[in-house]
Amino acid sequence: MKLHREGYTIMAVTAIVLILINLGILYLLPDGYWIPRIVLVASIVIFFLVVQFFRVPSRVVHMSDRQVVAPCDGKVVVIEEVVESEYFKGPRRQVSIFMSPLNVHINWNPISGVIQYFKYHPGLYLVAWHPKSSTENERTTVVIRNTEGVEVLFRQIAGAAARRIRWYVKEGDKVEQSTEMGFIKFGSRVDLFLPLDAEIKVNLQDKTVGSVTVIAELK
């Protein structure tokens, strides 16, 4: 299993802390039987959960100029028409995907094109499904324009547990669909803002596979 570079430090620190805890238990309870074994089993489970969070999946992708693919693994929690006030300053179709701590937390570019706009916003850490998390939480805003001149905006949004957003793009970069653009550590969400005439291909509560699931067809 390939592991993401964003997790190297966390995995190393977790391993060291768990080893020290287990050594401490053995030192304090040299004649113990169940407690050291219970702590050891719990430590293995915790380390496994941390490692699986940073796994890098192997996926077969099919790029298309007309399709918008899921920027992350997760579950569709919002499909609605909204007014996007930061960049478009007008109505757009919003599709939001919630990422649980058990999901892969890599973020992918939903379309190919050029980064027209990028901005990082420090902010709060409301739970990721809170309606105001899209505008008040720590987040990034990224706008990609494809070769047809269609622009798609998406936001990485930190949740209550996620306080470290990573991004690997900047304004002017040329990006390809389904390539890595960033990472959010622990529970979080990604919002997509699409043209009103985009044909939505998912439903509420659908599970998405990042870089693979088709979210919408562009006109």
Active site residues: 188
User: Kindly report the CA angle at 74 between 70 and 78, in degrees rounded to 5?
Assistant: 80
List for the chain the helix, strand, coil content (%; round to 5). 20, 35, 40
Q: How far is CA 197 from the centre of its chain?
A: 26
- Assess contact for 56 and 2: CB atoms under 8 A: yes
Cβ contacts of residue 53 below 8 Å, gap of 6+? 7, 101, 102, 105, 186
- Assess contact for 168 and 112: CB atoms under 8 A: no
- Assess contact for 154 and 71: CB atoms under 8 A: yes
